[in-house]
Amino acid sequence: MRDNLILRVIAKALIPVILLYAFYVQFHGDFSPGGGFQAGVIFSTAILLYALVFGMDKAADVLSDRVLIALASGGVLLYAGVGVASLLLGGNYLDYNVLADDPVAGQHIGIILIELGVGMTVASTMLLIFFTFARRMVIR
Amino acid sequence: MALTIDIFLLLFLIATAIGILRTRHLFAMAMMFGLYSLLVASLFLLMDAPDVAFTEAAVGTGIATVLMLATLAATRRSSEKPRQRFSPSALIITLSTTALLFYGTLDLPNFGDPQAPLHTEMAGRFIEQGQQDTGVPNLVTAVLASYRGFDTLGEVTVVFTAGVGVLLLLKRRRKPVVRGKSHAR
């Protein structure tokens, strides 16, 4: 795959756009279709395309397993942490109203944070699963 | 117009499903699963559910196809020829299950029925109060992230658990662990 000039050029042009779109879907999910889950999958697609065209090793240089595992567990922790934070601030678990003085502002903060947690976990877990499968393929 | 597109998409869906059933070529099967997901995503879009269509297109067509191809490459690419024997008991079980499922759908409210409990109980409150409660224009996000935040936490945990499971099962350790003789009991 490494000598395939057309694939390499097209992939190089596409990957930044896909990444940008993933961030748009992530942070614009309150206003338009999308959210953390979709953004995470789109983000992982960009890295996946990179891994398929430029090779697994180069992709692993960008995002090593250690980083991916930290991101995957960090996302779940962030989500659950928002719940704990609202508990500590005197509300129910995952009740965002208490996160700020204004309930609506609190809802905004809560939703953006948990969507970020979802995005982190989904993107890194998809990549982890793919990398793990693909490494076995290389070894065989 | 929408009805025509619906019928065309559903016909293609059936054709793809039959194609998946009939082909014995696993690579072609994986690609047709991707096509199937894309058709389903188009149907969701026609039903005014862009959020679901988005997920179906990204996960079903993108990630799932690539994962299936990676699995095919990692395992041996062989498929058994199915036995062509006709089995009456299997036919009876399939037909009676189908009949039961259809019987079950009789109790469901009609598609799009405004009097269905789904539309009269919680949905109305979400639509009327969602904007004031959360300040988020996209109701799907408001429901998923705020009203049903607990469920979404569960979903994220499921995704995380799947990743942990794959890592535990398939990750190659640096050195194979061999029980030394000193530890033998």
Q: What is the DSSP string of A69-101?
A: HHHHHHHHHHHHHHHHHHHHTTS-TT-GGGGSS
Helix (H) or strand (E) holding B21: helix B2-22
Q: Which two tokens stand for residue A77?
A: 């922790």
Instruction: Work out the average pLDDT over B3-19.
Output: 94
**Residue ranges per domain, chain B?**
1-77, 122-173
Contacts of A122 in chain B (CB under 8 A): 156, 159
How far is C-alpha B71 from the chain's CA centre? 18
Beta-carbon separation of B163 and A128 below 8 A: yes
A interface test, pick of B27, B48, B52, B54 with most A CB neighbours within 10 Å? B54
CB pair distance less than 8 Å for B166 and A140? no
**Distance of alpha carbon B152 from alpha carbon B51, whole angstroms:** 15
Considering only CB atoms, which chain B residues are within 8 Å of A132?
166-167, 170-171
Q: pLDDT tens, B45-97? A: 998 888 899 889 988 888 889 888 888 877 766 666 666 778 899 999 999 99
Question: Alpha-carbon Rg of chain B, whole angstroms?
Answer: 23
In a mutational test of the A interface, the residue from B71, B126, B156, B158 whose CB has the highest number of chain A CBs within 10 Å is: B156
pLDDT of residue B183: 46
Residue length of chain A: 140
CA-CA distance, B13 to B36, in Å (whole number)?
A: 6
* DSSP string over chain A: -TT-HHHHHHHHHHHHHHHHHHHHHHHTTTTSS--HHHHHHHHHHHHHHHHHHH-HHHHHHHS-HHHHHHHHHHHHHHHHHHHHHHHHTTS-TT-GGGGSSSHHHHHHHHHHHHHHHHHHHHHHHHHHHHHHHHHHHHH-
Chain A residues with beta carbon closer than 8 angstroms to that of B146: 96, 107, 110-111
**Are residues B149 and A140, on separate chains, in Cβ contact within 8 Å?**
no
- Give the number of other Cβ atoms within 10 Å of residue B10's Cβ: 12
* pLDDT tens string B153-181: 999 999 999 999 999 988 776 555 555 54
Per-residue pLDDT tens over the stretch A54-78: 888 888 888 888 999 999 999 999 9
Measure B167 CA to nearest chain A CA, in Å: 7
For residue B103, CA distances in Å to A118, B61, B93, B94, B115 come to 39, 32, 15, 14, 21
